[in-house]
C-alpha cells in the first residue's frame, strides 16, 4: 500500500517545494510544540513533527474503530465501578509494581471513605494498528486504551487543513475529500463543560495550571470536601501528568490523594486511571469477562472482542509459566508490556528473553503482560522534523480514537467518539509515541 504515487515520492524538486510549503502551513495553522531545548518556554516553539503526505487507512477499519469507541467508553466506566474486579485483576501486579500499588492504595482509601463526587468525566483514547494476517487480510487490533492524559487532541484538530493543502499543491485535488474533518479538542471541551454544569458552579469557567507540588502547598479541602486552591473552589481536575512514577514526589502523592478525596470532578478519577492499566487490558480478554460488563448486549461484546490481539498473563502458576516459555521460544512474535503509559516503555525481541529469564522464577514477572506483536503493512512517506534532514522512510501507522463520556450517579449523560489521531513512525523503531520524539502527526487518507 503506497501513500502517494511513486512519481510524486521520488520527484526531488517537488518534494523540496512541498516540504517548505508544509512547514510554513504548519506554523500558520498553529501546529506547534515547545522545543526539547527549552521545554518550559512560551517564547520558543517549532512546528510539531508530521508526515509530508497523509497515510492510507482502510475506510472499513477506520469505521470499525469509530463505531466501537462508545462501547469502550462504557467498558472503562463499568470496570471503574467494579471494585471486586479491580481488586482481583490487579492483585498480583500491586505486589510487585510499586507505582500501581500506590495508585491502588489511594483507590482503597477513597472507596473506604465513600466517593464524594457522583459526576464522572472520562476522556480517553483507544489505540490500534492494522494487522496484516497470514491470509493477507488486514484487521484492526487494539494496542491499548489510555485513560489518563490522552493527548494530541488539539494538534490533530489542526492537521486536516495542512494535508488538504499539500494534496492540492501536489495536484491530488480529488483525494482531499478522503481526509475527514476532525476536532477531538471540541469534543473534550464539550464533556468538560457538561461536567462543570453538573457540578453546579455559577461562575464562568476559568482554567488554571498547577503541578502536584503547587497543589500540595496551596490547596485544601473544606469540611464538605470541596477543593480550594489559592482560595478558589476547583470544580474539575484534569490530569496532564501523573501517569508515570517520575511525575510524583512524596508531596505529589499527598496532593493526588487530596484531590481524589475531594468533591471536584477528576479526569480521570483514580478508579478510571486503574481501569486503563495493561493488566486490566489483559484480564478483559479472558473468556466471559466482557459479558460481565455487557450482560445484555452480545453485539457490543462481539465488537469489542473483535479488536483484541492475543493477551497473556505472566502471573505465578502454570498459565504464567506457559506464557514465559512461549515468549522465550519466539520473542519476535510478542511484545512485553509493563504497567506504564506514554510510549517508550515496551520490550521487544531478544530483550524479552533477557527480562523474562531474569524474573521467570519470581513474582516480579507479574509486573508485565505479554501481547501478540502486530504486523502492519508498511507504507513510504517523508517525516518532517525540525532540524532533521528529509528522507523517504518506510513507515508504520497507529490509529487512535478519542472518546468522551460524562456520568452522573448511575445515568450516562454523554457518551461520544469525539475524533481521531493518526501517528506514524519509521519502521526502524519498535516503540512509538509523539512525546518521545519517535512518532509524528499524520492524517488518515481513507481508501
Beta pairing partners, 266: 237
pLDDT of residue 148: 96
133 pLDDT tier (thresholds 50, 70, 90) = confident
4 pLDDT higher than 80 = no
User: Which H helix or E strand runs over 352?
Assistant: helix 350-359
The mean per-residue pLDDT over the stretch 253-273 comes to: 97
29 pLDDT tier (thresholds 50, 70, 90) = very high
Query: Three-state DSSP class for 81?
Result: coil
DSSP state, residue 48: P
Q: Are 227 and 258 in contact (CB under 8 A)?
A: yes
Beta pairing partners, 234: 227
Output the CA torsion 296→298→304→305 (10° steps): 130
199 pLDDT higher than 60 = yes
Q: Which of 49-53, 213-217, 277-281, 342-346 has the lowest mean pLDDT?
A: 342-346
* DSSP state letters, 357-390: HHHTTSGGGGGEEEEEPP-PPPEEEEEE-TTS--
Domain boundaries, the chain: 6-309+374-446
pLDDT of residue 155: 95
pLDDT of residue 209: 95
Question: How far is it, in rounded angstroms, from Cα 336 to Cα 369?
Answer: 6
Q: Which residues contact 385 (CB under 8 A, 6 or more apart)?
A: 49, 437, 440
pLDDT, greater one: 207 or 4: 207
Average confidence score pLDDT of the chain: 94
pTM of the model: 0.94
pLDDT of residue 363: 94
pLDDT of residue 215: 97
213 pLDDT higher than 90 = yes
2 pLDDT higher than 60 = no
Query: How many Cβ atoms sit within 10 Å of the Cβ of residue 231?
Result: 7
9 pLDDT tier (thresholds 50, 70, 90) = confident
pLDDT of residue 437: 73
233 pLDDT tier (thresholds 50, 70, 90) = very high
Record the cell numbers describing residue 408, joined without a space: 452522573
pLDDT of residue 12: 86
Q: Model confidence over 364-414: pLDDT tens digits?
A: 999 999 999 999 999 999 999 998 888 999 999 999 999 999 999 999 999
25 pLDDT higher than 90 = yes
Q: Model confidence over 330-354: pLDDT tens digits?
A: 999 999 999 887 666 899 999 999 9
Q: Are 75 and 304 in contact (CB under 8 A)?
A: yes
pLDDT of residue 66: 98
The mean per-residue pLDDT over the stretch 38-50 comes to: 91
The mean per-residue pLDDT over the stretch 46-70 comes to: 97
Question: How far is it, in rounded angstroms, from Cα 431 to Cα 438?
Answer: 8
Q: Which residues contact 280 (CB under 8 A, 6 or more apart)?
A: 79, 86, 89, 90, 274
The mean per-residue pLDDT over the stretch 91-117 comes to: 95
Question: How far is it, in rounded angstroms, from Cα 167 to Cα 350?
Answer: 41
pLDDT of residue 435: 67
pLDDT of residue 270: 97
User: Which H helix or E strand runs over 84?
Assistant: helix 83-90
188 pLDDT higher than 80 = yes
pLDDT of residue 3: 59
432 pLDDT higher than 90 = no
* DSSP state letters, 13-31: HHHHHHHHHHHHHHHHHT-
pLDDT of residue 343: 65
Record the cell numbers describing residue 403, joined without a space: 472518546
436 pLDDT higher than 80 = no
135 pLDDT higher than 90 = no
203 pLDDT tier (thresholds 50, 70, 90) = confident
Residue from 253, 227, 233 nearest 242 by CA: 253
Question: How far is it, in rounded angstroms, from Cα 389 to Cα 190?
Answer: 40
Residue 338, CB-side half-sphere exposure with 13 Å CA sphere: 20
Amino acid at each position: 500500500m503506497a501513500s502517494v504515487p511513486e512519481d510524486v515520492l521520488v520527484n526531488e524538486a517537488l518534494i523540496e517545494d512541498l516540504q517548505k510549503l508544509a512547514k510554513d502551513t504548519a506554523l500558520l495553522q498553529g501546529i506547534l510544540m515547545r522545543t526539547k531545548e527549552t521545554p518550559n518556554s512560551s517564547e520558543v516553539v517549532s512546528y510539531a513533527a508530521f508526515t509530508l503526505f497523509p497515510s492510507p487507512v482502510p475506510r472499513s477499519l477506520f469505521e470499525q474503530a469509530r463505531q466501537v469507541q462508545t462501547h469502550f467508553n462504557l467498558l472503562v466506566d463499568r470496570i471503574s465501578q467494579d471494585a471486586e474486579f479491580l481488586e482481583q485483576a490487579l492483585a498480583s501486579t500491586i505486589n510487585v509494581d510499586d507505582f500501581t500499588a500506590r495508585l491502588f492504595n489511594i483507590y482503597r482509601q477513597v472507596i473506604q471513605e465513600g466517593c464524594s463526587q457522583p459526576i464522572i468525566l472520562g476522556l480517553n483514547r483507544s489505540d490500534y494498528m492494522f494487522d496484516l494476517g497470514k491470509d493477507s487480510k488486514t484487521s484492526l487490533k487494539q494496542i491499548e486504551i489510555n485513560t489518563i492524559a490522552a493527548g494530541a487532541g488539539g494538534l490533530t484538530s489542526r492537521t486536516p487543513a495542512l494535508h488538504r493543502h499539500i494534496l492540492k499543491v501536489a495536484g491530488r485535488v480529488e483525494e482531499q475529500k478522503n481526509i475527514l474533518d476532525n476536532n477531538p479538542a471540541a469534543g473534550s471541551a464539550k464533556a468538560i463543560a457538561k461536567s462543570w454544569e453538573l457540578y453546579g458552579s455559577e461562575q464562568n469557567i476559568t482554567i488554571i495550571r498547577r503541578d502536584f507540588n503547587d497543589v500540595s502547598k496551596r490547596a485544601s479541602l473544606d469540611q464538605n470536601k470541596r477543593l480550594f486552591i489559592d482560595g478558589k473552589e476547583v470544580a474539575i481536575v484534569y490530569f496532564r501528568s501523573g501517569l508515570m512514577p517520575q511525575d510524583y514526589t512524596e508531596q505529589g502523592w499527598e496532593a493526588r490523594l487530596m484531590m481524589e478525596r475531594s468533591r471536584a470532578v477528576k479526569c480521570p478519577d483514580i478508579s478510571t486511571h486503574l481501569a486503563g492499566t495493561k493488566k486490566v487490558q489483559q484480564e478483559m480478554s479472558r473468556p466471559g469477562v466482557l459479558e460481565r460488563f455487557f450482560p445484555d448486549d452480545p453485539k457490543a461484546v462481539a465488537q469489542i472482542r473483535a479488536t483484541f490481539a492475543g493477551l497473556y498473563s505472566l502471573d505465578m502458576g502454570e498459565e504464567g509459566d506457559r506464557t514465559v516459555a512461549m515468549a522465550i521460544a519466539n520473542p519476535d512474535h510478542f511484545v512485553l508490556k509493563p504497567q506504564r503509559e506514554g510510549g517508550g516503555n515496551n520490550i521487544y525481541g531478544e530483550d524479552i528473553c533477557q527480562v523474562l529469564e531474569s524474573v521467570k522464577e519470581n513474582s516480579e514477572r507479574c509486573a508485565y503482560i505479554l501481547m501478540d506483536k502486530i504486523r502492519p503493512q508498511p507504507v513510504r512517506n517523508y517525516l518532517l522534523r525540525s532540524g532533521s534532514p528529509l528522507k523517504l522512510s518506510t513507515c508504520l501507522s497507529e490509529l487512535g480514537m478519542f472518546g468522551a463520556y460524562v456520568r452522573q450517579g448511575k445515568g450516562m449523560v454523554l457518551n461520544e467518539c469525539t475524533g481521531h489521531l493518526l501517528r506514524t513512525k519509521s519502521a526502524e523503531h519498535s516503540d512509538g509515541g509523539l512525546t518521545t520524539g519517535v512518532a509524528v502527526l499524520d492524517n488518515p487518507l481513507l481508501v
